[in-house]
Amino acid sequence: MKKQHNYTVMHWGTWQVESSEGEIVAVKPVPWDKNPSRIGQSLPDAVTSQTRIRRPAVRAGYLQHGPASREGRGKEPFVEVSWEVALDLLARELRSVKARCGNEAIYGGSYGWASAGRFHHAQSQLHRFLKGFGGYTASTNTYSSAAGERILPHILGPLSPLHRQHTHFSELARECQLFVAIGGLPLRNAQVNGGGANDHMLQYWLDKMQANGTRFINISPVRNDLSAVPDAEWLAIRPGTDTALLLALSYVLIAESLYDQAFVASHTVGFAPYRAYLLGEHDGVAKTPAWAAAITGLDAQRIADLAREMARHRTMVNISWSIQRARQGEQAYWATVALTALLGQLGTPGGGLGFGYACTNLAGAVRKAFSGPRLPAGENAVDSVIPVARLSDMLLHPGETYEFDGQQRRYPDIRLVYWAGGNAFHHHQDINRLCEAWRRPETVVVHEQYWTAQAKFSDIVLPATTSLEREDIGSGGHDGFMIAMSAQIPPVGEARDDYAIFCDLAGRLGFGEAFSEGRDAGQWLRHLYEESRPRAQEEGIALPSFDDFWQQGVLEYSAPERPQNFSRRFSRRS
């Protein structure tokens, strides 16, 4: 593949890269990005940082004593070894665990976005490898929005498609009169997308909405959670009390007969017990503005007035992912759905509800969507799955039962943790408890680019390339762009891409051909791209040949005339 461009994609943006003699000298935002993130300017320093892992390394005690040595994890120095030694050691331990304990004893961690590229996506590569090896214990849910992911299918619909089908900002700019932001609309969060952010549009659209007269209310303990709208009203709520506010708003709508009785009758179930709960008929506690004021720290009169304003105006209620990241966090999402159902504005232009405007660069800005290039992962022969945030519980309490989504489940006995992409020590709760749990497995192996806390708490550390050191295809599938990502510099030190590592390891374990299907990385890129063309065609997107795409460097799909909107299914009027 002849390089005709110098693009790279990270989760926080797309850049043009300038390199010279094997070094990155500058990165520039692409011209179509309305508000590029400054994070990209760190790329030249990051790729050759002193913290880069340059050779395979094994914890000293593990190299000498094997899995019997666990207490030194996170404390002992590492010994650099050859790739041959590292992969032979890892292959031996994988075989041993499988033979003694079965594939359920292998946890395929790899939580995280890793690469914006679709082929060199560490999580996909690891899961394909472990499935080829016979399976593994997997995880479900996200740290970002797990409570919402579990409650919403029971009361409205799955979160992921809802997130992709938010009311488009263009419609909000035309029709929305009042935007109530529970948890704010922080610009800092909207810097990212799972497949790369190509055009940062939040500030642009908020400016449009303000210019057209939309009024914003920021309900958050933090004023600058809506810094993009300087004139927004700030209601400084106490952290963790959003559900009380939502219940009080619903109380006012019912007590003053401001709710949409026709919508409630035709589109909801369970109104009678909810009404009784709000009025205090069961527990003797009416969920009045005064009741909520004592909990939230907000003014009771302001709560009552806000409910009336929401009923009087075309209102969009947005609740951020942050609100549900707490014990009983699902209650705020449930209360938001109930409130917006009472307002009866679901399906109306510019009204309704949102779950994550500004949580990424995606919500409200989806363009033509199709399932882009993706690495086939195969089927997992092991049915053991844990909620991702129960990682420590699983390692500390093997064999114990727990309740999840209305079911009784059992924690597996994990002997080997395999992680590629992501960093549990960055996003998991209660790090001290995680440190204790992390010493329980016999073996911990990671693919990593930097000496992170997780790498230092591992036994076998394999150096991986960054996106700047390999060719890939950047595609989130929903933002209207596909980017040919060219390698800008050679691999740093002895780093290898995850695919090359797994090819070598699969060969040692007897399924190398099944894993690679006889393709090198470049051949996989071509294959995955060509395979995606029929899917694109089904969505009205005509993709050029792979060679033409690679030469052009950038593909942009036209935006649909009428973007997808999940709330239209509730519409009685337009």
pLDDT of residue 256: 99
Give me the mean pLDDT over the 49-58 stretch: 98
DSSP letter at 433 equals H
Mean pLDDT, to the nearest integer, of 536-550? 92
Residue 194 has pLDDT above 80, yes or no: no
Confidence of residue 380 (pLDDT cuts 50, 70, 90): very high
DSSP states along 319-340: E-GGGGSSTTTHHHHHHHHHHH
What would the mean pLDDT of 546-564 be, rounded to a whole number?
A: 82
State residue 124's pLDDT score: 94
Q: Where do the domains of the chain lie? A: 7-137+384-543, 146-366
Q: Which of 107, 111, 550, 557 is catalytic?
A: 111
What pLDDT score does 4 carry?
A: 47
What is the band of 113 on the pLDDT scale with cuts at 50, 70, 90?
Answer: low
From CA 279, how far away is CA 269, in angstroms rounded?
A: 18
Percent of the chain clearing pLDDT 70 (strictly above): 96
Specify the DSSP element, H or E, that contains 62.
helix 60-65
Q: Is 268 exposed, middle or buried (0-12, 13-18, 19+ CB in 10 A)?
A: middle
Contacts for 489 with CB less than 8 Å, ≥ 6 apart: 19, 22, 23, 24, 47, 468, 469
Q: What is the pLDDT of residue 400?
A: 98
CATH code given to domain 7-137+384-543: 3.40.50.740
Placement of tokens 């666990």 in the chain? 70
The yes-or-no verdict on residue 2 having pLDDT over 60 is no
Q: What are the start-end ranges of the H helices in 66-201?
A: 83-101, 122-132, 146-155, 159-164, 169-175
Tokens linked to 302: 């302001």
Model pLDDT, residue 422: 87
| 3 band by pLDDT with thresholds 50, 70 and 90 | very low
pLDDT tens digit sequence for 219-256: 999 999 999 999 999 999 999 999 999 999 999 999 99
If you count them, how many residues does the chain have? 574
Residues 6 or more apart whose CB falls under 8 angstroms from that of 478 comprise 164, 195, 362, 366, 367, 369
192 to each of 141, 222, 226, how far by Cα in Å? 19, 21, 17
Instruction: From the options 1.20.950.20, 3.40.228.10, 1.10.10.10, 3.40.50.460, give the CATH code of 146-366.
Output: 3.40.228.10
- At 73, the amino acid letter reads R
- Average pLDDT of the chain is 93
Going by C-beta distance under 8 Å and a sequence separation of 6 or more, which residues neighbour residue 539? 368, 369, 370
Which pTM value belongs to this model?
0.94
The one-letter amino acid at 561: E
Q: How far is CA 419 from CA 101, 247, 288, 379, 424, in A?
A: 19, 42, 49, 19, 9
C-alpha distance from residue 301 to each of 131, 227, 248, 314, 409 (Å): 58, 25, 11, 21, 46
Q: Which amino acid is at 250?
A: S
Q: What is the pLDDT of residues 143-176, one digit of tens each?
A: 999 999 999 999 998 887 777 788 999 999 999 9
- Decide if 113 is catalytic: yes
Stretch 325-331: mean pLDDT: 92
Res. 563 pLDDT band, cuts 50 70 90? low
Residue 390 backbone dihedrals phi, psi, to 5 degrees: -100, 20
The pLDDT of 299-315, averaged and rounded, is 99
Residue 418 in this model has a pLDDT that exceeds 90: yes
Extended strands (E) in 356-405: 385-387, 401-404
Of residues 7, 113, 234, 402, which has the active-site annotation?
113
Nearest to residue 73, comparing CAs of 85, 83, 65?
Answer: 65
Which 3 state secondary structure label does DSSP give 554? strand
Nearest Cα neighbor of 428 from 11, 31, 14, 111 is: 111
pLDDT of res. 560: 60
- Evaluate if residue 93 carries a pLDDT over 70: yes
Q: What is the DSSP string of 10-43?
A: ETTEEEEEEEETTEEEEEEE-TT-SS--GGGGGH
| Angstrom distance (rounded) from CA 149 to CA 353 | 16
Reply yes or no on whether the pLDDT at 573 is more than 60.
Answer: no
Pairing of strands 407-410, 178-182: unpaired
Query: Residue 186 corresponds to which tokens in the numbers above?
Result: 């922080």
Residue with tokens 């510099």: 489
In a 3-state reduction of DSSP, which class is residue 9? strand
Q: Which residue type, as a one-letter code, is found at position 90? A: L
